[in-house]
Amino acid sequence: MRASVATFTLLAVFGVLLFGPETAPAPASAEPPAPAAAAAPIVVELFTSQSCSSCPPAEAYFRELAARPGLIALEWHVDYWNDLRHGDAGRWHDPFSSPAYTERQRTYNERLRGSPGGYTPQAVVAGRAETTGSNRKTIEGLIVEAGKTRPAATITATRDGNIRFSVTGAPKNAQALLVTYRLAATTAVKGGENQGRTLDSAHLVTGAKKLGSGPTFSTPLPASGEGCALLLSEPGLGRILAAAACPP
């Protein structure tokens, strides 16, 4: 009997070493884990001017942001620099500037800084916080913080002869804005603080149109060299709740 017990014990140990410990099979009804939801893009806005000598470094940084996945980087060119004379260089009228873009900056500053007064270059991240547009460290930190907030809505963009946006989960009072922009532009500046410089920019806003309440929107395909995005914000130009770029 002792030899039989020893043999049985030896075989059992060999079986554990060869096949591993016995594990319970997964239930037949078990489902694979759902894939993680794709992160919603974060909107990073730069208020700038071609007449501002401290703005080119910020615009260079925003060219990098415009190429980064997961971000929608936009350049809004304000118009209050157009009337400022810089010595013998005189004035420079920024061809991409608009009073409407200046008003957007003022509205942001009224809420974020308690005063409508603006400055350039100024960055606004997700409609939640502002800082100097060339302050890379702070902007990167604000992008990280914005990424921790779950979007309040979902926007799906498809392309089928037009661009179609479908919005789900948005508050009833959310405001939709369709933004169009030049993918890239190079300008030889002939006056103002940047006289004699050639400026390269990306995602320069060329138009912004308020849309209805949705939940679906349609817009023609962007022209060659242009892009577009839908921004969904709280009323009164509050925080950006969700955004989507037009499919290329």
Answer whether residue 55 is part of any domain.
yes
Q: Which amino acid is at 111?
A: R
pTM over 0.85: no
CB-based contacts of 56, cutoff 8 Å, min separation 6 = 194, 197, 199
How many CB atoms are closer than 10 A to CB 46?
29
pLDDT of amino acid 214: 81
Q: How many domains does the chain have?
A: 1
Question: What Å distances lie between residue 204 and 30, 59, 70, 193, 213, CA to CA?
Answer: 50, 10, 18, 20, 26
Give percent above pLDDT 70 in the chain: 84
Answer whether residue 31 is part of any domain.
no
Residue 180: name the closest of 101, 246, 123 by CA: 246
Answer whether residue 19 is part of any domain.
no
Indicate the SS3 state at residue 122.
Answer: strand
**Distance separating alpha carbons of residues 56 and 137, to the nearest angstrom:** 17
| 29: confidence class by pLDDT, cuts 50, 70, 90 | very low
Answer whether residue 8 is part of any domain.
no
Answer whether residue 28 is part of any domain.
no
pLDDT of amino acid 39: 59
| Domain boundaries, position 115 | 42-245
Mean pLDDT rounded to a whole number for the chain: 86
Answer whether residue 109 is part of any domain.
yes
| 37: confidence class by pLDDT, cuts 50, 70, 90 | very low
**Distance separating alpha carbons of residues 207 and 46, to the nearest angstrom:** 15
Residue 43 has pLDDT above 70, yes or no: yes
Answer whether residue 35 is part of any domain.
no
Give per-residue pLDDT as tens, 85-124. Answer: 999 999 999 999 999 999 999 999 999 999 999 999 999 9
Answer whether residue 163 is part of any domain.
yes
